[in-house]
Amino acid sequence: MADKPRRPRAETPKGFRDYFGAEVTERKAMLDRIAGVYHRYGFDPLETSAVETVEALGKFLPDVDRPNEGVFAWEEEGDWLALRYDLTAPLARVAAQYRNDLPSPYRRYAMGPVWRNEKPGPGRFRQFYQCDADTVGSASVAADAEICAMLADALEEVGIPRGDYVVKVNNRKVLNGVMEVAGLAGDDKDAERGIVLRAIDKIDRLGPEGVRALLGEGRKDESGDFTRGAGLSAEQAEVVMGFTSARRDAGAATVARLRELVGGSVIGAEGVSELEAIAALLDAQGYGPDRIVLDPGVVRGLGYYTGPVYEAELTFQITDEKGRPRNFGSVAGGGRYDGLVKRFTGQDVPATGVSIGVDRLLAAIRAKGRVGGETAGPVVVTVMDRDRMADYMAMVGELRQAGIRAEVYLGNPKNFGNQLKYADKRQSPVAVIQGGDEAAKGTVILKDLILGAKIAESATLEEWKDRPAQVEVPRADLVAAVRKMLGQ
């Protein structure tokens, strides 16, 4: 007897997830609001293919056994293709490919899924959404200031109130200057600079003493594990530590302190001047330190950037899985990366941009109670008599034409209780009922499912009489009565 063919397992691949109704609706609503802000700033939408050549992606190279560690890639007629791992690499290709047709500077925003072939973990998925805005072709720090202002506006637009977020701005050149003063310039100091960068990035977690240890010989953590340090002398470490604590209450005071720290470094002084110019441009538009601050502590991803860098941090507290309070943290980051298009054209093309972590921002909005995680379902027109389906379809058609989300129950209508259970599962606000008696009288019954559930829970008899959960209205008044019940 031949083996039965094995049924495929109904399961999501590891590291991926499915998104249902409310999640998709909420994400789309949030992205539409952000797009509205970007559009207002004069940015144009761009949609590129999910697939790029590995050569164009540039960050990963094919190897014989496992092509393109970090990306999902395959070979086709001698070419390696891959799913995009971010929205910036495709922008570089577009800016180079269409450079004669696009305006310069080219201002674009893009939203969509990206894929990374990485080990999945809790909250870490191999497919996730990004939302980017970039200006390609402008070397002016006004472009950087504009991105910071736009980021602040976008956060407020989606429901993060002022005071619950801060956009922090730093500059790669300032840190280069500090490294120079500390004696860490030159290619032979790459390893030490990398350790210093990682150490500065951990100051919130480890505190000044922990960072000082990592700048020196190294640090042993609570578990006894030892992390090798950068091997800086006490004097060198002091220069770097001064940088980590350079932020002052006012931007001008921060700038003055940074000028002291970069000393005679030309690149460092250039970076400080750029930060000063950004602060002045933002101040002129009314973006004060309640929204955007100069913060030398922003170092995340600095190796990738060539000038100003920025990060949006949410400052309100949430409770983690173990019930402990913690700050929500970063939801967006970006900066200037001149050299983006150079790989394709051989010529320097300045660029600056920001990327919002869509899932994190949506989680933050939920934490603020700005979206409920639930979306109202459709009005459900129930089916009492199968042979009168045309009447029910006419009702649903009128509701839809009036802009009301509605559907006819299309399951087996034999058990009316199942129809109401279906409406409940769909989170339907209203059920429309018309049996033979109502049809003869020219009426319909509207059942307020939301109020009905509330009445069942707690309402007094007087409240119930004042607004019953079920009303009978003339068929001609269907739309008006449903609107009233929905509070429209």
Q: Is the pLDDT of residue 63 over 50?
A: no
Of the pLDDT bands very low, low, confident and very high (cuts 50, 70, 90), residue 9 is very high
**Alpha helices (H) in 161-263, listed in sequence order:** 172-181, 190-201, 203-215, 234-244, 251-262
| Number of other residues whose CB lies within 10 A of the CB of residue 343 | 14
Over residues 296-320, the pLDDT tens digits come to 888 766 667 889 999 999 988 776 6
The most confident of 18-22, 102-106, 315-319, 452-456, by mean pLDDT: 102-106
Measure the CA–CA gap between 98 and 95, rounded to whole angstroms: 6
Domains of the chain: 14-139+338-375 (3.30.930.10), 161-334 (3.30.930.10), 379-486 (3.40.50.800)
What pLDDT score does 462 carry? 55
pLDDT of residue 6: 87
Which residues touch 283 (CB under 8 Å, ≥6 apart)? 251
What values do phi and psi take at 333, rounded to 5? -155, 160
pLDDT confidence of residue 2: 62
Residue 61, pLDDT > 50, answer: no
Mean pLDDT, the chain, as a whole number?
A: 86
Provide the whole-model pTM: 0.81
Pairing of strands 127-136, 165-171: unpaired
Return the DSSP state at 121. Answer: B
Burial grade of 437 (CB within 10 A; 0-12, 13-18, 19 or more): exposed
CB burial of 153-183 (b: ≥16 within 10 Å; e: otherwise) equals bbbbebbbeeeebbbbbbbbbbbbbbbbbbe
Instruction: Please report the pLDDT score of residue 91 as a whole number.
Output: 95
For residue 375, the model assigns a pLDDT of 64
What confidence score (pLDDT) does residue 176 get?
Answer: 85
- So what's the pLDDT on residue 62? 41
Ranking 125-129, 218-222, 281-285, 337-341 by mean pLDDT, the lowest is 218-222
Average of pLDDT values for 162-172?
93
Which neighbouring-strand residues pair with 228? 218
